[in-house]
Chain A
Amino acid sequence: MSALAGSAVPRLLPGMRLRRDLVRDQWVLLAPERVIELDDIAYEVVSRIDGVRSVDALVDILAAEFDADRAQVAADVLDLLDDLVAKRVLGA
């Protein structure tokens, strides 16, 4: 499987919508014929994707903000982003 490089810049592909689902009280990504439920951590990552920040920059921000071990954050973020790229929610 193709892991993303730290310098890659992820972006939401056209047609993706990040939305609060008030009925289920959670964040969801609406994609073509698919609803991706985001847990709190996934939301923190996805909501910071802006098409400008690199994977490395996202990891830096999240590690600083949550005062967490950078290597651990990097592993989690890469897992999530890789999955979303495979699902064609993100381009990179």
Chain B
Amino acid sequence: MNALPGATPPAPPLAILLELTHRCPLACPYCSNPLRLVGMRQELATEDWLRVLDQAAELGILQVHFSGGEPSLRKDLPQLIAHARERGLYSNLITSGVALDRARLAALVEAGLDHVQLSIQDSEAEGADRIAHYRDSHRKKLAFAGWVSELGLPLTLNAVVHRHNAGRVPAMIELALELGAGRLEVAHTQYYGWGLKNRAALMPTRAQLDLATAAVQEARERLRGRLVIDYVTPDYYARRPKACMGGWAQRFLNVTPEGKVLPCHAAETIPGMRFDSVRERSLADIWQHSEAFLRYRGTDWMPAPCRGCERREIDWGGCRCQALALSGSADRVDPVCELSPDHEAVQQLAMREAAEPAPPFVYRSIKGA
């Protein structure tokens, strides 16, 4: 599995996430886009994206996630979805739901869209609109969810959880049922980019976390076969790191609006790392040979104690961007792991921030933070 030059090529990736644009009507303070957003004029052209879809199918990718920003702001979205379908790719639209009317959604379904993932910011309008920084966003999303079901597509709701809404996880679960969603992602905030900038404004207390976790566990049992709930636990209170992206460069690729190919959406935060572009190289070439993909693929790069750990091919050493954000170096042990010398400090940090009054949000903006 270790991708040394000349070694066996890595297994092909399963999924690709295409950030078609960074433009978005919402301004959530935990947005996964980088602090420095790509402007419309730098975005890839339609023919570039069509070529990426061809190369993805040839490489063995099975699922394509159309994401952003708000991907429906791209006028060529129906064409891209139709092309994905022609190439046998399963297409998923990751959307805020506020920029599409029913007719335009119907056109995407007609083009071959397979599934919709709709973000919600809360279970109720006041909190949701405050997070999104967009008036009436919640009501628009509820209407949009109704159209998804009417048009016969499966629906996933994605709810990012933090100190301002963690108590309403049970209400989010009920909302998912009311809206006819088959899946719900309850995702504690990931602290990279905008989320890291707003960490003190978002960090929940341990008690909030425990209640949210209990609500998810109870609902999973009760709703078995009706609602699948994926739960992303909050790193800072965990004892073991997540297998970020299923392992660096193991299963997944991310393409930015300007065509850079990343092993994960936050990888650009790592200093000194060079990313190749779909404008210059093929996806297969990048997957196999790009410096950024080789850097942390497999286990050879690992420091002690990861290198000798029995979980090294389970969590793949956790998250490199998190190691960078919390220990100052992407090469170090992910401080979420209790075997990291930085682990204790991270838990203390989370508890300290959660205990303080929440500072105001720094909303996501094209002007940067």
Binding site for B on A (CB under 8 A): 1-2, 13-15, 17, 19, 21, 23-24, 28, 30, 32-33, 35, 85-88
**8 A-B pairs with C-beta separation under 8 A:** A14-B152, A15-B154, A17-B90, A24-B60, A32-B92, A33-B117, A35-B62, A86-B225
Task: Give 3 closest A-B pairs by Cβ, nearest first.
Answer: A23-B60, A15-B154, A30-B90
By a CB distance below 8 angstroms, the chain B residues around A87 are 228
Nearest B-chain residue to A92, judged by Cβ: B225
Q: Is the CB of A32 within 8 A of B154?
A: yes
- For the complex formed, measure the closest distance between the CB of A54 and the CB atoms of chain B, giving whole angstroms: 17
Q: Is B121 among interface residues, defined by CB-CB distance under 8 A?
A: no
Q: A17-B114, A35-B15 are in contact. List 18 more A-B contacts (CB 8 A).
A: A1-B224, A2-B224, A2-B225, A14-B153, A19-B62, A21-B62, A23-B60, A30-B114, A32-B114, A32-B154, A33-B92, A33-B156, A35-B62, A35-B63, A86-B228, A87-B228, A88-B225, A88-B226
Q: Is the CB of A88 within 8 A of B60?
A: no
Most buried by B among A15, A17, A24: A15
Q: Is the CB of A19 within 8 A of B60?
A: no
The A-B contact count (CB < 8 A) is 58
By a CB distance below 8 angstroms, the chain A residues around B226 are 88
- For the complex formed, measure the closest distance between the CB of B234 and the CB atoms of chain A, giving whole angstroms: 21
* Contact-residue bracket for chain B: 20 to 34
Q: Is the CB of B62 within 8 A of A14?
A: no
Q: Is the CB of A15 within 8 A of B62?
A: no
By a CB distance below 8 angstroms, the chain B residues around A32 are 92, 114-115, 117, 154, 156, 182-183
Nearest A-chain residue to B149, judged by Cβ: A14
By a CB distance below 8 angstroms, the chain A residues around B154 are 13-15, 32
Binding site for A on B (CB under 8 A): 12, 14-15, 59-60, 62-63, 65, 88, 90, 92, 114-115, 117, 152-154, 156, 182-183, 224-228
Nearest A-chain residue to B228, judged by Cβ: A88
Q: Is the CB of B62 within 8 A of A28?
A: yes
Within the assembled complex, what's the spacing in Å between the Cα atoms of A1 and B222? 10
Q: Is the CB of B62 within 8 A of A88?
A: no
Q: Identify which of A15, A23, A30 contacts B12 (C-beta below 8 A).
A: A23
By a CB distance below 8 angstroms, the chain B residues around A30 are 62-63, 90, 114
Within the assembled complex, what's the spacing in Å between the Cα atoms of A32 and B64? 11
Within the assembled complex, what's the spacing in Å between the Cα atoms of A14 and B151? 11
Q: Identify which of B63, B88, B152, B224 contacts A33 (C-beta below 8 A).
A: B63
Within the assembled complex, what's the spacing in Å between the Cα atoms of A62 and B228? 29
By a CB distance below 8 angstroms, the chain B residues around A88 are 182-183, 225-228
Nearest A-chain residue to B183, judged by Cβ: A32
Q: Is the CB of B60 within 8 A of A21?
A: yes
By a CB distance below 8 angstroms, the chain A residues around B115 are 15, 32-33
Within the assembled complex, what's the spacing in Å between the Cα atoms of A75 and B65? 36
Within the assembled complex, what's the spacing in Å between the Cα atoms of A43 and B355? 52
Most buried by B among A14, A17, A33, A86: A33
By a CB distance below 8 angstroms, the chain A residues around B14 are 35
